Chain A
Amino acid sequence: MVHETVIGLTGAPEPLDQSEAEPGRQTEPYAGPDEGSLMSRVLLIEDDAETAREIMAELVDRGFEVDWAATGIEGLDKARAGEADVMIVDRLLPGVDGLTIIEVARQERVCKPVLVLSALGAVDDRVRGLRAGGDDYLTKPFAIQELIARIEALLRRPSENPDTVLRVGSLELDLLSRTAKRGDRTIDLLPREFRLLEYMMRRKDQLLTRAMLFEEVWNYKFVPQSNLVDVHMGRLRRKVDATNEQPMIHSVRREGFILRAPA
């Protein structure tokens, strides 16, 4: 079932020809994370009831337990209790500012990941949000899928793996020698492709949206007009998944990409 709910407006324009690029490699729409993150508790601090209701409905559908605080003060209390696994905090709240909540929570050693939501019209809000201790940042209007993908990414943030070799199935990425192999086959990667693959391998089995990839791999927070991410991903895919091999990089229709070990 496709849940294409847009909160206000969408974040990223979907490239029109994404599905044509690699026919036959479409997987079914992303249905949610594996059992691992089930029953995670989300604290949603959002004053707009309608937005909150939509976010809650979607989160509950995906198996989250949601706690909603409609005011800054209520949110601050719940954040300090530290019971949630992840927090979604609106930047502008009546009573207490969203960033203040994060700062206070951080001072009290609540180290659960925080996603900051903000209205359009604040270019440098992102910087301040992250400086206050937010872990990710989403500008309203956003697509609900984008929010879910980011929440899941925050919940399953890769622990600082001391291994210098990443492995997914037969795919191996050596971070020291900067080389990649699939089975015995050596893969030649350009620096940017190496970074992209590293990012995906650290987040295997997770839905990664185009906006997330563009932000994390290219470090730019804007919505490119062309299907930039798709083209780069297409190149990486041709290198990772050779014609006679089981595909590992999957497109999720309208949403993003997932790296998965072949079954």
Chain B
Amino acid sequence: MRLPEFTRSTTFRWTLAVSGAFIVCILLMFGFILAQAYSYMTTDVDALNNEIANAIASHEPEQRILGLDQYLRADPHHVKLGGLFAADGRRIAGNIETLPPMLHGDAGAQLASLIKIDGGAREQQAVRAVARGLPEGGTLVIARSDYEFTWIAHIVERTLAVGLIPALCLSLAVGVFLSFRAQRRIEEVNSKIQRIVAGELRERLPARGTDDPFDKLAELVNGMLGEIEVLVRRLEGVGDDIAHDLRTPLTRVRVSLERARQKAGNLDELRRSVDQALVGLDQSLAIITALLRISEIEHSRRMDGFRNVALGDLVREVGDLYEPIAEDKKVDFAVRAEAETTVHGDRDLLFEAIANLVDNAVKFTPQGGRVELSLLRQGNEAVVRVRDSGPGIPADEGELVTRRFYRSDKSRRDPGLGLGLSLVSAIAKLHGFSLKISSGPGCVAELAGQSATA
């Protein structure tokens, strides 16, 4: 027979185990109580029997019969037994039919099975009994049935029946309820997860906001899902940006080719249009090349080409390279590389990174502005800082600028691929350097990395 689904759940099994342990405990406890009660009552009964036996045995022989009769007559609960036997075992008085062999002489208190005669009725009873040998021969037996004990045992039995069975049922019910609940939650989570897998990225696992571990787990997973959603959206955004940035020059290409086809009257006009188209194509191709290069750097884990690089020389070379550009643009360009520090890295890539930062700075600084390229030492770190007096970056765009294709809305119309800073960011990441872009007035970009020790 197959058990229903819930019986296989861990919750249900644990509930069963706990209830079982609980029941065993209760049974042990009652057993202990019974044993204690029995031994206490036995001692009590034995003491009483002894006392009475002594009292009756101390009488004169004629008085004993009377005393025994009196004792036996005052017995509202029908618990008393007693018997006076002659030396040959014949019953003289009392309500015990025969003298059992183990009660000869001065037998101590013990458990005995005696036949009680009450009028015409005979009844075998389990009793506590004592015996006294009499001076003229014969035996006095005083006994008492363990009726009280049976009674207590009976009460305990009924208590257990009334208390334990409902408790057992209750715990079973609780187990079933809990495992149903857990199962329902898992099914809920399961269905949500299936929806997420199917592409519903906005879906979240149900959480009740309580402190229970399941909720905490759900919150953790939800946090993770949030992160994934952001990444996926960003990726989608990148796709859109690529499409947009490629469409603009390609549209221009199409327009100029179409115009050339319809309007060009001679070879020179045709060439002019084709040249225009080629510019647009080159721009698109440059975007793709730059993208591929970034992912190449991002995915290269190789550090074979890493050497100790003197940053001072590198910074001066970048300065040398960009000085004429800045001058052409009438931008004041200052290079300060007083601190001589070396870092461990790829010289070409680091040059490219610094060149890109300067390129950006010069590009976004208006005529008459100023760009500073400096190399500093801050503790253990070498910092290349490029500061410009351009429009700067709005505070909320600080992190965005390193994203592929991100261009501040204000600069959408400036030429450029929008990929420079993501390239720098990829190079920084490869080196384990940090790239910080902050806004003063103007823009400050800082590339910082651990100085090489040797």
Q: Judging by beta carbons under 8 Å apart, are B348 and A226 in contact?
A: no
Name the residue among B282, B302, B348 with the largest chain A CB count within 10 angstroms: B282
B292 close to chain A: CB less than 8 A: yes
Q: From residue A49, how far is it (CB to closest CB) to chain B in Å?
A: 22
Chain A interface SS verdict (over half): loop
Q: Judging by beta carbons under 8 Å apart, are A225 and B420 in contact?
A: yes
Q: From residue A126, how far is it (CB to closest CB) to chain B in Å?
A: 9
With a CB–CB cut-off of 8 A, which chain B residues contact A222? 293, 348, 351-352, 355
Q: Judging by beta carbons under 8 Å apart, are A231 and B352 in contact?
A: no
With a CB–CB cut-off of 8 A, which chain A residues contact B355? 222, 224
B48 close to chain A: CB less than 8 A: no
Q: Judging by beta carbons under 8 Å apart, are B285 and A123 in contact?
A: no
Q: Judging by beta carbons under 8 Å apart, are B324 and A14 in contact?
A: no
Q: From residue A215, how far is it (CB to closest CB) to chain B in Å?
A: 11
Q: Which of B224-282 contact A (CB under 8 A)?
A: 271, 274-275, 278-279, 281-282
Name the residue among B289, B328, B417 with the largest chain A CB count within 10 angstroms: B289
Q: Judging by beta carbons under 8 Å apart, are A228 and B325 in contact?
A: yes
A250 close to chain B: CB less than 8 A: no
Binds B, one of A5-13, A165-173, A240-248: A5-13
Q: Judging by beta carbons under 8 Å apart, are A14 and B282 in contact?
A: yes
With a CB–CB cut-off of 8 A, which chain A residues contact B283? 13, 16
Binds A, one of B187-195, B332-340, B356-364: B356-364
Q: Judging by beta carbons under 8 Å apart, are A141 and B274 in contact?
A: no
Q: From residue B21, how far is it (CB to closest CB) to chain A in Å?
A: 64
Q: Judging by beta carbons under 8 Å apart, are A9 and B285 in contact?
A: yes
Q: Judging by beta carbons under 8 Å apart, are B289 and A226 in contact?
A: no
Name the residue among A11, A13, A223 with the largest chain B CB count within 10 angstroms: A13
Q: From residue B181, how far is it (CB to closest CB) to chain A in Å?
A: 54
A182 close to chain B: CB less than 8 A: no
Counting chain A residues whose Cβ lies within 8 A of the other chain, the interface size class is 20 to 34
B297 close to chain A: CB less than 8 A: yes
B320 close to chain A: CB less than 8 A: yes
Task: Given A9-B288, A253-B275, verify A123-B351 contact (CB < 8 Å).
Answer: no
A235 close to chain B: CB less than 8 A: yes
Q: Judging by beta carbons under 8 Å apart, are B356 and A14 in contact?
A: no
Q: Judging by beta carbons under 8 Å apart, are A225 and B356 in contact?
A: yes
With a CB–CB cut-off of 8 A, which chain B residues contact A120? 289, 292-293, 296
Q: From residue B357, how far is it (CB to closest CB) to chain A in Å?
A: 11
Q: Judging by beta carbons under 8 Å apart, are A121 and B296 in contact?
A: yes
Q: Judging by beta carbons under 8 Å apart, are A10 and B285 in contact?
A: yes
Q: Judging by beta carbons under 8 Å apart, are B348 and A10 in contact?
A: no
Q: Which of A1-51 contact B (CB under 8 A)?
A: 2, 4, 6, 9-14, 16
With a CB–CB cut-off of 8 A, which chain B residues contact A225? 356, 359, 416-417, 420
Q: Judging by beta carbons under 8 Å apart, are A127 and B359 in contact?
A: no
A157 close to chain B: CB less than 8 A: no
In the complex, A2 Cα to B282 Cα: how many Å? 15
Q: Judging by beta carbons under 8 Å apart, are B289 and A10 in contact?
A: yes
Closest to A222 in B: B352
B60 close to chain A: CB less than 8 A: no
In the complex, A73 Cα to B394 Cα: how many Å? 59
Contact of A231 among B274, B300, B325, B420 (CB under 8 A): B325
With a CB–CB cut-off of 8 A, which chain A residues contact B279? 14, 16
B126 close to chain A: CB less than 8 A: no
Contact of A127 among B271, B305, B352 (CB under 8 A): B305
Contact of A226 among B271, B351, B363 (CB under 8 A): B363
Task: Given A220-B352, A232-B324, verify A226-B285 contact (CB < 8 Å).
Answer: no
With a CB–CB cut-off of 8 A, which chain A residues contact B417? 13, 225
With a CB–CB cut-off of 8 A, which chain B residues contact A234? 324, 328
In the complex, A99 Cα to B362 Cα: how many Å? 41
Q: From residue B245, how far is it (CB to closest CB) to chain A in Å?
A: 13
In the complex, A124 Cα to B355 Cα: how many Å? 20
Q: From residue A43, how far is it (CB to closest CB) to chain B in Å?
A: 28
Mask, B414-435, CB within 8 Å of A = 1, is 0111001000000000000000
In the complex, A37 Cα to B324 Cα: how many Å? 36
In the complex, A12 Cα to B290 Cα: how many Å? 10
B25 close to chain A: CB less than 8 A: no
Q: From residue A180, how far is it (CB to closest CB) to chain B in Å?
A: 18
B286 close to chain A: CB less than 8 A: yes
In the complex, A226 Cα to B288 Cα: how many Å? 17
Q: Judging by beta carbons under 8 Å apart, are A123 and B297 in contact?
A: yes
Q: From residue A40, how far is it (CB to closest CB) to chain B in Å?
A: 28
Mask, B339-376, CB within 8 Å of A = 1, is 00000001011011001100100110000000000000
In the complex, A253 Cα to B271 Cα: how many Å? 12
Q: Judging by beta carbons under 8 Å apart, are B324 and A221 in contact?
A: no
Q: From residue B149, how far is it (CB to closest CB) to chain A in Å?
A: 93
Q: Judging by beta carbons under 8 Å apart, are A254 and B288 in contact?
A: no
A121-B296, A224-B321, A225-B420 known; 19 other A-B pairs, CB under 8 Å? A6-B281, A9-B288, A12-B286, A13-B283, A14-B278, A14-B282, A16-B415, A120-B289, A120-B296, A123-B349, A218-B317, A220-B348, A222-B293, A222-B355, A223-B289, A226-B363, A231-B325, A235-B324, A253-B275
- Jot down 21 A-B pairs with beta carbons below 8 A, ordered by A: A2-B271, A2-B278, A4-B278, A10-B282, A10-B289, A16-B283, A120-B289, A120-B292, A121-B299, A123-B305, A124-B304, A220-B351, A221-B348, A222-B293, A222-B355, A223-B290, A225-B356, A225-B359, A225-B420, A231-B324, A254-B278
Closest 8 CB pairs of A and B: A13-B286, A10-B285, A14-B282, A9-B285, A222-B352, A231-B324, A120-B292, A231-B325
Residues of A at under 8 Å CB distance from B?
Answer: 2, 4, 6, 9-14, 16, 120-124, 127, 141, 192, 218, 220-226, 228, 231-232, 234-235, 253-254
